[in-house]
Structure 1
Amino acid sequence: MSSAPQEVREARFALGRKLAALRKAAGYTQSSLAPLTLYGRSTVANVELGRQSVGRDFWVRCDQILDTGGALVADYDRMQARARQVDRSSALRGPPRPPGPDYVDREDVDGRSPLLDRGPDVSRPKGGLLAAVHTLGPAALALDDLDRFHAVARDAHRYLDADLVRYLDNGLARCATDDRVHGPRHALPRVLGIVALVQHSVRDAKPQVRQPLLAVGARAAEFAGWLYRDCGQPSPAEYWRDRASEWAMEAADFAIPGYVLIKKSQSAWDDRDAARMLGLAQAAREGPWRLPARVMAEAVQQQARGLAMLGTGQREVDDMLKEARDFLALAAEDRTSLAAHYDAVLFKVQTAICYGESGRPEQAVEIYESTLTPAVFSARDLAYFSTLKAQTLVAVHRPDDAALAATAAIGAASAAGSARTLRELFRLRCRLRPWQARSAVHEFLRLMDAV
């Protein structure tokens, strides 16, 4: 039974009843809503009955899916604020909560029970690698992910010192391949295994190994931030980006903090927060670090997009895109793997996004149609950019083509667990509703209702 105070339990129950009412009013069943929230059906059922707590990301997604205007997350925030007041006014009982943002009794992205949402357990080791896992806060691992996590731990024990750094570096490269092929939910357990190993090992590492180990940890933490972003969980994404900056600074890798600002700028794009997106990109570019040419190109491109979203003239946007292109031309001189994925093809697609935001959708569509191919992009990335292309097709009054492009993206986005792509598909769904009588659009809307 929950140990939460009675009034908090009542608030949780009321919030669950409200979710159930809004879900039914929007025409969703628990089974059809669950995959869109990235939780399981049983989690939705338990939340509606007030039996289970979930993180703020769940309520944010429910508000977006059910189009509530933020009503659910507002109630959740009030409930959490009251719970904190109760905690402060009463004596603390038991051990403190694990570190990390927004800690609640939460579930993994598909509703299975993670390691971190249990109470104190005397069977837990007081030290060692598993103890390091328990300090990861938002990095909740599902039980059937443990085989992948322990594969990292088991193999790592064969290595010491500099060999461990090389092993983790190679493991991180394999995680990147896992993400491209299978999506974030497959790659995330191994990445979290790497950051746990770094966190555990760095305390006793020799001085000559400590900095390289932290540098690997910084890259792994930044990658974890990206994976959580793609899973649609902004709070742990921010946590791991901040951890990446901290470790990178200690490792004297001063490019990563600037790179992290670019990644935060990209997350602002997910929310269509143009001012924040522009400000973070400018901060990355103008900060007290020397960024590789590829990273500079990405930062300047983000600035161009932010300016376009704020209504800046096309000439100024184009001048900034040219500057980004000039930086990218210097990328061959980079002596780092940071942002190695950022190439001329990706820049073209991002240019199309800028064109779409600056009132040139026809030119944007031309770039999309000449660039987006499965030979170049992973299935997940192709689905994401095809959805942005579909949004632009609506702007040039081609709703049937938009619906067809997006319909092809639904399966890949769902299979990869890319909530970021699903969020763009829901944006498109709203834009296509005026044409719902057309067969292609009707089919897309039907599939979205059954995702």
Structure 2
Amino acid sequence: MAVVALWTGAKASALRFALRLTMEELASQIGGISPSGVRRWDHEPNMVPSMVSQRDLDYLLSKASPDEQARFAVLVGDLEQPSNGPAEIVAPQPSIMPNLAIPSLVSPSSKFIAPTSDTLAWFEQNLRSQYTADNLLGPRALMPLMQTYVGAIEQMQQTARGPVLDRLLRVGAGYAEFTGWLHQDAGDLRGATTWATRALEWAQGGMDDRMTAFVMMRRAAAALTARHGEYAVRFAQSAQRFNTPETGRIRIIAAVTEAHGHAIAGDGGESDRALDNAAGLLEQYNGEIIEGDPTADRYCELGLYTKIARAKCVLELGRAGAAVDAFSDVLDSLPREYHRDRGQYLGSLARAHILAEQPEFAAAAAEEAYSIALATGSTRTLDDLRRTMPSGLAPWSHIPEVQRFCAMLDAVEPEIGGN
């Protein structure tokens, strides 16, 4: 059984991730601590929790399943007992590991992580699980975890050769790209660019054209967030250069990203053309997922995705009535589990209502978006609300619904969801 001699913020956070608990759920099981206190463990990895919390953390770890114990051991990154003293973390014994246990990452004869086939297969499968966790927990919960994984992959690359190195570069590109996305969603565009650059380097080193196209498309999406329409167009067009069946889904997404870039640049004609191109690609490829596609589990059904893209474009182009109708349709069509995305699109619907001069509806949509953004830690949504709502609603500041929402937004602490 895993044992911890002294809990720190980092280890407590690792336990939360291993148990798949939200901050609120963990706080409910730890004496004398609130969800904000649990959040501090994420941001202050070296802090030492109180003795009451230490005791409760010990209890939760002792009651964890073998699979949860295994995840905890990997997250802490100490699966091998040091030779100079007792280990704080001891990995679960093989005899109690389930059939799908995480493979041993450390070679018995080396301090380096061993890039075995089982290890690589686990990393490939695990990345898909993180996509689901992202939509449930938001970026702040996953960023420390993903950086640990990337570090492990980078360490394995140092001793790998031949096809194993190629595979590690491809796996690493996927993890680096996803880490960049988490930084983007948390509002750290500089960090997002740094991680995307690493992902692109590894994808090209592994001669993975599909991942290269995907990273370029993601760079285009980051340019949209930064409001660089022309940059978004260039990156999205670059992603569409890889004309193979395997890149069909990526080209569909890149085409609608290009359309959004044109809309930001104020070119409605080119935006409509790119959307028509995306519709043609969707008809040609039918959104088929080919094994290893990096878009799998990252995007909703592509028919819905193109619908979302059209809504964003008409909003960007100032077509108020069409934008209200389009985002209302999107929210009606959005799967219930897309919680964080619902917050983002509610914020967009609020902007559309402002354009349509419907302040009460705008405030109601913005208030719901605000609540979801706080729950998921999505700085992207909070920043959008801060940037657009106060000025947009200013002409109707005397309306009670508007006053209530603006007061709520002012009460948000700047560091919530911050860098």
TM-score normalised by structure 2 residue count:
0.69
Say if 2:139 and 2:378, in contact at 8 Å, map to a contact too: yes
2:293 to 292, 317, 337: 337
Give runs of aligned pairs for residues 25-424 of structure 1, distance below 5 A: 111-112=43-44, 149-150=75-76, 155-157=102-104, 161-286=116-241, 292-314=247-269, 316-329=270-283, 330=285, 331-332=287-288, 334-340=290-296, 341-342=298-299, 343-373=302-332, 375-376=335-336, 378-424=338-384
Say if 1:248 and 1:256, in contact at 8 Å, map to a contact too: yes
The DSSP-based 3-state class of the residue aligned with 2:207 is coil
The DSSP-based 3-state class of the residue aligned with 1:445 is helix
The DSSP-based 3-state class of the residue aligned with 2:373 is helix
The DSSP-based 3-state class of the residue aligned with 2:294 is coil
Say if 1:429 and 1:445, in contact at 8 Å, map to a contact too: yes
> Residues 229 and 299 (structure 1 numbering): CA distance in 2 closer, same or farther, change over 3 Å?
same
Partner AA of 2:75 in structure 1: F
Q: Deviations over 1:204-252 (max 9, x none)?
A: 2353322112211110000000000111111221111111111111111
Partner AA of 1:337 in structure 2: D
Please name the residue that 1:448 is paired with. Answer: 409
Say if 1:254 and 1:290, in contact at 8 Å, map to a contact too: no
- Give me the whole-angstrom Cα distance separating, in 2, the residues matched to 1:196 and 1:413: 29
Please name the residue that 1:82 is paired with. Answer: none
- Give me the whole-angstrom Cα distance separating, in 2, the residues matched to 1:339 and 1:171: 15
Partner AA of 1:442 in structure 2: Q
Partner AA of 1:322 in structure 2: D
1:435 aligns with 2:392: no
> Residues 282 and 211 (structure 1 numbering): CA distance in 2 closer, same or farther, change over 3 Å?
same
Q: How many residues align?
A: 318
The DSSP-based 3-state class of the residue aligned with 1:370 is helix
> Residues 290 and 203 (structure 1 numbering): CA distance in 2 closer, same or farther, change over 3 Å?
farther
Q: Deviations over 1:26-60 (max 9, x none)?
A: xxxxxxxxxxxxxxx9xxxxxxxxxxxxxxxxxxx
Partner AA of 2:235 in structure 1: L
- Give me the whole-angstrom Cα distance separating, in 2, the residues matched to 1:336 and 1:325: 23
- Give me the whole-angstrom Cα distance separating, in 2, the residues matched to 1:309 and 1:375: 27
Say if 1:308 and 1:358, in contact at 8 Å, map to a contact too: yes
Mean CA deviation greater in 363-372 or 204-213: 204-213
Instruction: Report the alpha carbon displacement of residue 258 of structure 1 after superposing the two structures with TM.
Output: 2.3
> Residues 147 and 298 (structure 1 numbering): CA distance in 2 closer, same or farther, change over 3 Å?
same
- Give me the whole-angstrom Cα distance separating, in 2, the residues matched to 1:109 and 1:256: 34
Instruction: Report the alpha carbon displacement of residue 442 of structure 1 after superposing the two structures with TM.
Output: 0.9
- Give me the whole-angstrom Cα distance separating, in 1, the residues matched to 2:346 and 2:393: 15
Say if 2:246 and 2:293, in contact at 8 Å, map to a contact too: no
Instruction: Report the alpha carbon displacement of residue 346 of structure 1 after superposing the two structures with TM.
Output: 1.9
- Give me the whole-angstrom Cα distance separating, in 1, the residues matched to 2:230 and 2:281: 23
The DSSP-based 3-state class of the residue aligned with 2:318 is coil
> Residues 333 and 221 (structure 1 numbering): CA distance in 2 closer, same or farther, change over 3 Å?
closer
- Give me the whole-angstrom Cα distance separating, in 2, the residues matched to 1:335 and 1:324: 22
Mean CA deviation greater in 262-271 or 332-341: 332-341
- Give me the whole-angstrom Cα distance separating, in 2, the residues matched to 1:355 and 1:291: 30
Structure 2: gaps of 5 or more residues: 1-35, 48-71, 80-90, 92-101, 106-113, 413-419
Q: Deviations over 1:3-48 (max 9, x none)?
A: xxxxxxxxxxxxxxxxxxxxxxxxxxxxxxxxxxxxxx9xxxxxxx
Q: Deviations over 1:275-302 (max 9, x none)?
A: 2222222232236988611111111112
- Give me the whole-angstrom Cα distance separating, in 2, the residues matched to 1:167 and 1:260: 22
Please name the residue that 1:11 is paired with. Answer: none
Mean CA deviation greater in 427-436 or 335-344: 335-344
Instruction: Report the alpha carbon displacement of residue 306 of structure 1 after superposing the two structures with TM.
Output: 1.9
- Give me the whole-angstrom Cα distance separating, in 2, the residues matched to 1:148 and 1:418: 26
Partner AA of 1:326 in structure 2: G
The DSSP-based 3-state class of the residue aligned with 2:375 is helix
> Residues 294 and 287 (structure 1 numbering): CA distance in 2 closer, same or farther, change over 3 Å?
closer
Say if 1:231 and 1:418, in contact at 8 Å, map to a contact too: yes
- Give me the whole-angstrom Cα distance separating, in 1, the residues matched to 2:404 and 2:382: 16
- Give me the whole-angstrom Cα distance separating, in 2, the residues matched to 1:152 and 1:326: 51
Say if 2:103 and 2:118, in contact at 8 Å, map to a contact too: no
- Give me the whole-angstrom Cα distance separating, in 1, the residues matched to 2:309 and 2:78: 35
Instruction: Report the alpha carbon displacement of residue 147 of structure 1 after superposing the two structures with TM.
Output: 7.3
Aligned CA RMSD, in angstroms, stands at: 3.0
- Give me the whole-angstrom Cα distance separating, in 2, the residues matched to 1:352 and 1:193: 37
TM-score normalised by structure 1 residue count:
0.64
- Give me the whole-angstrom Cα distance separating, in 2, the residues matched to 1:254 and 1:247: 11
The DSSP-based 3-state class of the residue aligned with 1:286 is coil
The DSSP-based 3-state class of the residue aligned with 2:266 is coil
- Give me the whole-angstrom Cα distance separating, in 2, the residues matched to 1:109 and 1:263: 30
- Give me the whole-angstrom Cα distance separating, in 1, the residues matched to 2:390 and 2:382: 10
Instruction: Report the alpha carbon displacement of residue 166 of structure 1 after superposing the two structures with TM.
Output: 0.8
Partner AA of 2:185 in structure 1: D
Say if 1:406 and 1:425, in contact at 8 Å, map to a contact too: yes
Say if 2:214 and 2:250, in contact at 8 Å, map to a contact too: yes
Partner AA of 1:414 in structure 2: L
- Give me the whole-angstrom Cα distance separating, in 2, the residues matched to 1:447 and 1:237: 29
